Amino acid sequence: MRASRFVTALVVCAAAFVPVLAHAQAWPAPAGAGSITLSTQVIDNTGHRLSDGSRFVDGKSRNASAALDVDLALTDRLAVSLGLPYVAAKFIGPGAPPLVFRDVDRCRCWNSAWQNVNAAVRYTLIHGVVALTPSLAVVVPSHNYEWLGEAVVGTALRELRLAVDAGARLEQVSPRLAVSARYQYAAVEDVLDVPNNRSNASLTVSYLLSERLSVRAGASWQRTHGGLRFGSLPGAALVLPGEANTPERFFQHDRLLRDNHWHVGGGVTYSLPRLDVFASYLQFVAGTDTHSGKALTLGVSVPFQR
């Protein structure tokens, strides 16, 4: 039971190191075991990172979301998951929004809607002290929501994600210590024939302080294969609006930016008899054509046996 709870703690909060809530899992659960996870996340976008990496403090925004994820092990190796977040977004400023014809940005009002349906299947190839699990996920917008402007809930683009999760329990160092890694390649729906696929990778180290309490720390990285560079302030090699240099590209640039970044963070999970409670904090440390900011995630996960 102790090892099972440790694995659950690793699984529940791996999503805090990627943009979209997902079950990043190297070790499988027993056949018929599952979990229902409810989480909430607040992202404080404190500005932008321009194409040269410099920080631009205007254009602040805030996102708040609640997500429900269901995970079920069909066999000892095969598992499926399904999730759907509800997202609210608000433009803060302090300057005027760049697309002022949107009333929700001009009034600095909250805009909220259901975002994307996330469905995934994974199969564990190696299971033991070392685990290896590839997965396939499909992301589909739940409806035709608004994606233009600042106070938006998402990009409204379909994605196909291929990933592999690897984990190792470092028993020679400590039976309480484990490390997990994830690589994901996302094939993103084309817009204006601009390629916008991306790679994401993360590394997490977890430690079981007691039978109920575990802590973790990690880093995540994103590289966009294509996209548009929006440029930087005058004096840079590429000035604003950079490669968004046609009316069509400028109109679409919010969801076509070449978003490259590094994030670091940590978290804690506490296991009660019938549920796990978790929290994590994420700091945006560097990047280009991306946001600067931070994120806080809180949630509960309820295990069940079919």
Instruction: Compute how many other C-beta atoms are within 10 angstroms of the C-beta atom of residue 130.
Output: 12
pLDDT at 261: 98
pLDDT at 14: 40
pLDDT at 100: 58
Q: How far apart are CA 36 and CA 67, in angstroms?
A: 11
Domain ranges of the chain: 2-305
- Beta strand segments in 142-243, E: 159-169, 177-188, 196-208, 213-226
Spell out the per-residue pLDDT of the chain, length 306, in tens.
Answer: 443 444 444 444 444 334 433 334 899 999 999 999 999 999 999 999 999 999 999 889 999 999 999 999 999 999 999 999 999 999 998 888 776 568 888 899 999 999 999 999 999 999 999 999 999 999 999 999 999 988 999 999 999 999 999 999 999 999 999 999 999 999 999 999 999 999 999 999 999 999 999 999 999 999 999 999 999 999 999 999 999 999 999 999 999 999 999 999 999 999 999 999 999 999 999 999 999 999 999 999 999 997
How far CA 46 is from CA of 110, 147, 230, 284, 295, in Å, comes to 17, 20, 18, 10, 11
Q: Name the architecture of domain 2-305.
A: Beta Barrel (2.40)
Closest CA relative to residue 264, chosen from 235, 284, 248, 278: 284
Q: Say how many CA atoms lie within 13 Å of 187 toward its Cβ.
A: 5
pLDDT at 5: 42
